[in-house]
């Protein structure tokens, strides 16, 4: 059973339609991430699920309960949805304890205090319970906002760019912690982010949103290694493409010829997707020349040119320090082939 089911959601603004027949689902405890360019409808979809905006058609079901369709539009406070916004929306006149306790509407003072102290401990913010939002770091504010949401025991959690205002080092640490907490509570979560790296690290399912449509909804592995189109491939990581020709079960490329019997591809011209990690340096292999390099610490990005004139990006351990202009030999290490119809005319 799915905790969140979104079916055929459509929404129009003036002459534009930011959402076109959007479908997605999440099982209990799953984390899903929506990624895509600015203005593609990611945040609008979250607001529709939460009840803050209304779709023109489609349906939303939360915990097997219909909250929106052509006959129902349940108000936000009845949907039992927790939502974390980009700015965290903490009450500036309340300290941490009061901000978190604000979400509890019933119970004695002793019961409320016990619940708040318990969740403050879980989110590792017990030591700042009497501080006010302006006294907190960005990471601390994030934890307080999440604690205030989790104490309500929401059926689903919606997060809109929750890490965008944090510096890189804090973001990575907090992302791991928040994922661990969400998984420990088994809270079904849908997050919007512009960062593919965040989505791949955080989620069980990733949705690629383009022009108001989810063009692929799949595991992070499938999004990266089995993209349905070039847009998804390019959005999910570094890519290079080389021309390939398939003839009678043989794939001819600038990296050599390969036996190829995948029946979903017919004979013809293709663009073969190359990920940087698909290429290794070897003593024997295809001749190539280093055109450019970018030192990244643990690894170095190289742009190389093959003897076929194809240019590709490869990623190598940084101790393999090749100079620009160096001739090297490379070997493809394909676990599988992903090809798209050639764009060459």
* CATH number attached to the domain at 240-341: 2.40.50.140
How long is the chain? 345
First vs last C-alpha separation in the chain: 47
Model confidence at 193, in pLDDT bands (50, 70, 90)?
very high
Domain boundaries, the chain: 2-235, 240-341
* CATH number attached to the domain at 2-235: 3.40.50.300
> Does residue 152 or residue 294 have the better pLDDT?
294
Task: Please determine, for residue 179, whether its predicted confidence score (pLDDT) is greater than 80.
Answer: yes
Give the count of beta carbons closer than 10 Å to the beta carbon of residue 83.
21
pTM of the model: 0.89
pLDDT given for residue 344 in this prediction: 67
- Name, in order, each residue with C-beta under 8 angstroms of 58's C-beta and a sequence gap of 6 or more: 6, 7, 8, 9, 10, 21, 22, 68, 69
pLDDT given for residue 269 in this prediction: 95
Of 339, 120, 112, the closest CA to residue 233 belongs to: 339
> Does residue 38 or residue 29 have the better pLDDT?
29
Task: Read off the pLDDT of residues 145-176 as tens digits, 9 standing for 90 and up.
Answer: 889 998 988 999 999 988 877 777 778 888 88
State the pairing for strand pair 250-253/268-274: unpaired
Model confidence at 12, in pLDDT bands (50, 70, 90)?
confident
Provide long-range contacts, Cβ within 8 A and 24+ apart, for 215-218. Answer: 217/23, 217/24
How large is the average pLDDT for residues 317-331? Answer: 95
State the pairing for strand pair 250-253/256-259: antiparallel
SS3 19: strand
pLDDT given for residue 226 in this prediction: 94
Tokens, residue 76: 């936000």
Average pLDDT score, the chain: 91
Task: Read off the pLDDT of residues 233-264 as tens digits, 9 standing for 90 and up.
Answer: 999 999 999 999 999 989 999 999 988 888 88
CB 235 within 8 A of CB 196: yes
CB 143 within 8 A of CB 150: no
Lookup result for tokens 């607001």: 47
């Amino acid at each position: 059973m799915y905790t969140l089911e979104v079916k055929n959601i459509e929404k129009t603004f003036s002459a534009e339609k930011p959402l076109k027949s959007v479908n997605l689902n999440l099982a209990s405890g799953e984390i899903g991430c929506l990624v895509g360019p600015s203005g593609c409808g990611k945040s609008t979809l979250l607001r529709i699920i939460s009840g803050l905006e209304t779709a023109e058609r489609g349906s939303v079901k939360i915990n097997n309960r219909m909250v929106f369709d052509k006959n129902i539009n349940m108000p936000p406070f009845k949907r039992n949805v927790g939502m974390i916004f980009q700015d965290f929306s903490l009450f500036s006149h309340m300290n941490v304890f009061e901000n978190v306790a604000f979400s509890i509407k019933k119970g004695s003072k002793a019961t409320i205090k016990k619940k708040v102290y318990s969740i403050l401990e879980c989110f590792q913010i017990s030591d700042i319970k009497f501080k006010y939002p302006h006294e907190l770091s960005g990471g601390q504010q994030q934890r307080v906002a999440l604690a205030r949401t989790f104490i309500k025991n929401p059926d689903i959690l919606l997060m809109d760019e929750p890490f965008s205002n944090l510096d890189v080092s804090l973001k990575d640490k907090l992302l791991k912690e928040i994922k661990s907490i969400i998984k420990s509570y088994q809270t079904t979560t849908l997050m919007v982010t512009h960062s593919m790296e965040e989505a791949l690290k955080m989620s069980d399912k990733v949705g690629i949103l383009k022009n108001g449509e989810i063009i692929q909804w799949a595991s992070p592995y499938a999004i990266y290694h089995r993209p349905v189109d070039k847009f998804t491939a390019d959005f999910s990581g570094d890519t290079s493409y080389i021309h390939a020709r398939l003839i009678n079960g043989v794939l001819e490329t600038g990296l050599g010829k390969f036996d190829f019997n995948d029946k979903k591809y017919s004979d013809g011209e293709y663009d073969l997707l190359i990920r940087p990690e698909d290429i290794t340096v070897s003593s024997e292999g295809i001749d190539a020349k280093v055109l450019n390099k970018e030192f990244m610490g643990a690894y170095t990005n190289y742009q190389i040119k093959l003897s076929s004139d194809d240019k590709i990006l490869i990623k190598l351990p940084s101790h393999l320090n090749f100079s620009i202009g160096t001739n090297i030999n490379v070997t493809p290490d394909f676990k599988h082939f992903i090809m798209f119809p050639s764009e060459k005319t």
